[in-house]
A = this chain, B = another copy of it.
Amino acid sequence: MDTEEFRRRGREMVDYVADYLESIEKRPVFPDVEPGYLHSLIPTEAPVDPETYEDIIKDVERVIMPGVTHWQSPYFFAYFPASSSLPSILADMLCGALGCIGFSWAASPACTELETVMLDWLGKMLQLPECFLAGTHGHGGGVIQGTASEATLMSLLAARCKTIRSVQASNPQLPEGEIFSKLVAYTSEQAHSSVERAALIGGVMIRKVPTDDTYAVRKDILKKMMEEDKAAGLIPFYFCATLGTTPSCAFDHITELGPICNEENIWMHVDAAYAGSAFICPEFRHLLNGIEFANSFDFNPHKWLLVNFDCSTMWVKDRADLIGAFKVDPLYLKHENQESGLVTDYRHWQIPLGRRFRSLKMWFVFRLYGVKGLQSHIRNHVALAKEFESLVRADKRFEVCAEVIMGLVCFRLKGPNELSENLLKKINQSREIHLVPCQLSGRSPVIDRQTDRQAHRRQSLSHPKVYYS
């Protein structure tokens, strides 16, 4: 394919994308295929000789589309929203063309610097405390991770390293292995599974903290667990708070949890993967109060802020904590400006070495929507959730299982679990809308995200979904 053909095929692809998003409502949201469906549709080996572009593009409808779960469909309410947008798709095209791998400042200065500034822009939108911003002289700063899971892992690893060093400093005779085996992390029993997984990867114990009747972690219980562990000779070192839990969008009380962590020298990471986007609205910002006590904070603009996956934004108060934990600096990655203190080498901030120019997506989206446009996107979704909540509450057969604060509505049929389980099964088998279940306190409510088809039509956006599991 030469660039002339690319111009033609590119235009066709743009139209295909536009057609797909315009008519996505006509496709069944959840595919009607059995495991292994694709094997019989394509050859078992790559072709020896080139095929034509027509062959391939025909196969997109024949092979791919029948097996796609349409996350951008207005009938998709499962898992969490993955709110892509048209400007974001354009920015990603540019990213693909540049094809630069920005692991260090020198590897592509624009890639690094735009990211730093975009994280500052977004941090300001959230009214993050100054100490989390990079500015031009700050000790903090932000980075784009691929997913919130990676942000959690990075923070846990940084905390692990910091704690081991500090314990060793006061007990130089203690072997590292022994300290390691005493480390304990904490998170809500309602926290996302990736926190447990981060502890598994990091090789440390993790305790799940019971929650109150709003599914939130409170001060006393965390304090008690930590005291007990310390009395048993263990070393509490990390607490992952959640703002907007996966099952019910509950908010841990970080204003009271933060001070405890600070007193005890425990790293507090705040995971607001879904809810974080809403903090750009003044009326939701109070839910982020207490962030000043955190060491690190992360949320996913790719969930609810119109930036295509993958874009998980993470801030740290002290970048040295993150960098110090991972710095391995071979000669072939060194560059002249490295030691000037002025540059950021993002490879030290993340698990992978390579990285794409993802801040372009943020730049396009923030500028084309403006802060106001993004705020009204959030507000629209929350209003739809409230509307759906009132419909559920008006129907005596149903109950709402958790406070509706943002875009998530947890509801169930009154009575035994089987009723809700059967309802969910029927709904998903109909393939008209798609939902996933969730468990709260042993009950199994259906989690819904409101049918916002009208919003879709009004906005002509490709991602009008609101809610997450």
Contacts and interface: CB of A to CB of B under 8 A. Distances in A.
Contact of A332 (B44, B94, B371, B469): B469
A2 interface: yes
Contact of A6 (B18, B149, B246): B18
A465 B119 CA distance: 32
A51 B363 CA distance: 11
A398 interface: no
A418 B452 CA distance: 67
B11 A193 contact: no
Interface stretch (A95-103, A252-260, A282-290): A95-103
Interface stretch (A218-226, A322-330, A386-394, A399-407): A322-330
A368 B42 contact: no
A352 B35 contact: no
**Number of copies of this chain in the oligomer?**
2
A310 interface: yes
A50 B3 contact: no
B3 A69 contact: no
Contact of A181 (B34, B42, B175, B463): B175
Contacts of A31: 109-110
A122 interface: yes
Nearest to A114: B38
Interface stretch (A82-90, A263-271, A313-321): A82-90
Contacts of A328: 193-194, 196-197, 200
A167 B237 CA distance: 28
A37 to B, nearest CB: 7
A56 B203 contact: no
A50 B368 contact: yes
A356 interface: yes
A183 to B, nearest CB: 10
B68 A98 contact: yes
A132 B183 CA distance: 37
Given A67-B110, A90-B13, A193-B330, A101 B47 contact: no
Contact of A180 (B110, B180, B310, B329): B180
A417 to B, nearest CB: 12
Given A114-B64, A146-B146, A460-B3, A331 B50 contact: no
A309 B469 CA distance: 30
Interface string A378-396: 0000000000000000000
Nearest to A176: B181
Interface in A31-63: 31, 33-39, 42, 44-51, 53, 55-56, 60, 63
Interface string A1-26: 11111110111011111101110000
A201 B332 CA distance: 22
A146 to B, nearest CB: 5
Given A149-B351, A181-B181, A99 B462 contact: yes
Contact of A7 (B15, B34, B340, B356): B15
A34 B94 CA distance: 23
A360 B67 CA distance: 13
Nearest to A67: B110
Smallest CB-CB A-B distances: 3 pairs: A177-B181, A67-B110, A10-B14
Given A6-B86, A35-B109, A38-B113, 17 more contacts: A1-B87, A6-B18, A9-B86, A10-B11, A10-B17, A16-B94, A20-B97, A21-B97, A39-B136, A46-B370, A56-B367, A71-B101, A82-B99, A99-B462, A177-B178, A180-B203, A331-B437
27 contacts: A1-B87, A3-B21, A4-B18, A13-B14, A13-B94, A36-B113, A37-B109, A37-B113, A38-B110, A38-B117, A39-B113, A44-B120, A46-B121, A46-B122, A47-B367, A55-B367, A67-B111, A68-B111, A69-B108, A72-B97, A79-B333, A89-B97, A97-B462, A146-B352, A180-B203, A331-B437, A332-B438
